[in-house]
Amino acid sequence: MKRILVVEDDRNISQLLQMYLKKEGYEVTPAYDGGEAYRLFEETEPNLVLLDIMLPVMDGYGVLSLIREKGDTPVILLTAKGETEDKVGGLRKGADDYITKPFEMREVIARVEAVLRRGQPATKPARKLTFDKLSIDMESMVLEVNGEKVPTPLKEMELLYHLASAPNKVFTRNQLLDEVWGISYFGDSRTVDVHVKRLREKLEGISDQWSLETVWRVGYKFEVRG
């Protein structure tokens, strides 16, 4: 049974989320403030976190940062903020997805299922790519850069692997959304830009034999030289 930590200070919304998630067969633990959320995260080791942004004690961004220090547990943000920059900000901080309030429970369940499916590498064949000073191991979910393991969220790993699997091939943003996030993903093409930016922060200047390149007005490619 998959475990979900629901972090929401509005108890009516929390109870509604708990009811529907339990109905779908999930084990649910509620938390009502940021401090309690991180304590329960460490205690219960959930498979996924539904995380409100506006919380007492510690806001959702603070909780998300602490979770990302521990690893790549999927996190879906729950936020009443509908502005694009707020959504992009959440993705930049390491969130896997976001849901804007008010939401329908069908959407919440669909997104939870989609994120959890993406987090099951055992259902995929063993995959590993190696380049100069770079190793992308999808079986063990480990990214090694210049001989050191670099903590990397699942979606960044999948995006990098997808690009590097076809060296020098140009992918449009919409192609990457369809092929990496899946055709049921509700986000927009800026999601790709955010994830590429975070990958570049990890990979820039490591090798002169490969790089993540932007193809102006088109998309991205993993360029291999020599």
* pLDDT at site 102: 86
Q: Is the same domain home to 35 and 98? A: yes
Q: Is the same domain home to 210 and 185? A: yes
Report the CATH number that the domain containing residue 43 is assigned in CATH. Answer: 3.40.50.2300
Report the CATH number that the domain containing residue 182 is assigned in CATH. Answer: 1.10.10.10
Structural domain of 60: 3-119
113 Cβ neighbours under 8 A, 6+ residues apart: none
Cα-Cα-Cα-Cα dihedral sign, residues 185, 175, 214, 202: positive
Tell me the DSSP string of 40-107.
HHHHH--SEEEEESS-SSS-HHHHHHHHHHH----EEEEES---HHHHHHHHHTT-SEEEESS--HHH
* pLDDT at site 1: 77
Q: Is the same domain home to 128 and 107? A: no
Of 119, 142, 163, the domain-final residue: 119
* pLDDT at site 187: 60
Write out the chain's pLDDT in tens, 226 residues.
Answer: 799 999 999 999 999 999 999 999 999 999 999 999 999 999 999 999 999 999 999 999 999 999 999 888 999 999 876 665 666 777 888 899 888 888 889 889 998 998 898 766 544 455 899 999 999 999 889 999 999 999 999 999 999 999 999 999 999 988 898 888 875 555 667 889 999 999 999 999 999 999 999 998 899 999 999 7
Separation between Cα atoms, residue 115 and residue 100, nearest integer Å: 16
* pLDDT at site 183: 52
* pLDDT at site 182: 75
Q: Is the same domain home to 108 and 149? A: no
* pLDDT at site 202: 95
Of 93, 119, 145, the domain-final residue: 119
The token pair at 181 is 């996030």
* pLDDT at site 122: 45
Q: What is the pTM of this model?
A: 0.55
The token pair at 224 is 């291999």
Of 77, 101, 119, the domain-final residue: 119
Q: Is the same domain home to 171 and 66? A: no
